[in-house]
């Protein structure tokens, strides 16, 4: 039986939650959230699971790293685009609005299967044909870096990698980068991004120089650094290659620049040049004679 729906509504005027995602992650953040909506509505209809494996696969489909997708999802949960309680308990992405829109869209179906533990709305009021199950779902503990694997489930290879890092096996340049980066969140994800990048000494210098310049940008300094990207996202997006915006002082100069004065000064310089060249300017006709 088909559970999903072929299309879903998206308001033209979105609220501040979406604006903040776009401010922090750029259009990439907005696009990831919309792609997640497509996954939710198109598959199960009112929710989708989000695990490490899903993040990796979704990241590959979207042309991003799994860490970048996880950080965007984490921000979306934090800002209320997706329900935080169900995400932390079952690691699913859903919201009251998503469920309401979905159940309204499938209200004419003869049968709609739903899981009671995932519901945020009164399904009985929206659907007369709902088949509500109370099957046991896996319950996950809280985890601030969106990892759903317990330590018992980790492979020996993962443990050995962590031990190597703990024992001083941090790749060159990473600690300098981390100490310089103003938003110290998800260090393990940032380390993975650094290891994947594997920069040589020359690239490390380029990254650190660019970081120092970007730290002074108003985008990074306003609102207590709210819009600074996560370090892993910054690395995976090769953000050190971004062009720097005009700084505040330059903006003030450009904002107060009087073009009429500039044109008048240029005309005066031209007249002086013509005089020195023994030409006369006919001021009434504006011609050189």
Tokens at 273, concatenated? 């040049």
pLDDT at 12: 81
What's the CA gap between 229 and 71, in Å, rounded?
10
| Mean pLDDT taken over the chain | 77
Lowest mean pLDDT, pick from 74-83, 100-109, 167-176: 167-176
- Helix (H, G, I), strand (E, B), or coil: what is residue 184? coil
What's the CA gap between 10 and 13, in Å, rounded?
9
pLDDT at 265: 66
Lowest mean pLDDT, pick from 39-48, 226-235, 244-253, 258-267: 244-253
Lowest mean pLDDT, pick from 11-20, 114-123, 271-280: 271-280
Residue with the bigger pLDDT between 137 and 184: it is 184
Contact indicator for 37, 26 with CB cutoff of 8 Å: no
What's the CA gap between 113 and 129, in Å, rounded?
9
Q: Average of pLDDT values for 254-280?
A: 60
One domain, residues 284 and 224: no
pLDDT at 120: 93
The whole domain housing 266 covers 258-288
pLDDT at 161: 45
One domain, residues 24 and 143: yes
One domain, residues 102 and 218: no
One domain, residues 5 and 117: yes
Number of domains in the chain: 3
One domain, residues 136 and 175: no
One domain, residues 193 and 99: no
* Residue 131 parent element (H or E): strand 130-133
Would the pLDDT of 277 be above 70?
Answer: no
């Amino acid at each position: 039986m088909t559970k999903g729906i072929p299309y879903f509504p998206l308001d033209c005027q979105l609220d501040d939650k979406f604006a903040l995602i776009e401010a922090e992650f750029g259009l990439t953040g907005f696009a990831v959230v919309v792609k997640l909506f497509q996954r939710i509505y198109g598959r199960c209809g009112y929710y989708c699971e989000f695990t490490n494996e899903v993040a990796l696969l979704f990241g590959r489909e979207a042309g991003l790293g799994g860490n970048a997708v996880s950080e965007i999802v984490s921000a979306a949960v934090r800002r209320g685009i997706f329900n935080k309680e169900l995400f932390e308990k079952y690691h699913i992405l859903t919201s009251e609005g998503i469920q309401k829109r979905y159940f309204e869209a499938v209200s004419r179906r003869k049968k709609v299967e739903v899981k009671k533990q995932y519901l945020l709305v009164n399904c009985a009021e929206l659907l007369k044909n709902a088949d509500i199950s109370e099957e046991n779902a896996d319950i996950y503990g809280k985890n601030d870096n969106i990892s759903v694997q317990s330590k018992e489930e980790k492979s020996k290879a993962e443990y050995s990698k962590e031990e190597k890092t703990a024992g001083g096996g941090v790749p060159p340049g990473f600690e300098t980068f981390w100490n310089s980066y103003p938003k110290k969140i998800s260090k393990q994800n940032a380390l993975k991004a650094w290891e994947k990048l594997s920069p040589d000494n020359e690239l490390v210098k380029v990254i650190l120089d660019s970081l120092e310049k970007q730290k002074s940008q108003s985008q990074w300094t306003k609102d207590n650094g709210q819009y600074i990207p996560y370090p892993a996202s910054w690395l995976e997006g090769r953000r050190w290659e971004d062009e720097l915006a005009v700084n505040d002082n330059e903006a003030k100069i450009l904002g107060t620049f009087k073009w009429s004065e500039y044109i008048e000064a240029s005309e005066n310089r031209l007249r002086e040049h013509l005089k020195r060249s023994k030409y006369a300017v006919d001021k009434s006709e504006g011609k050189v004679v």
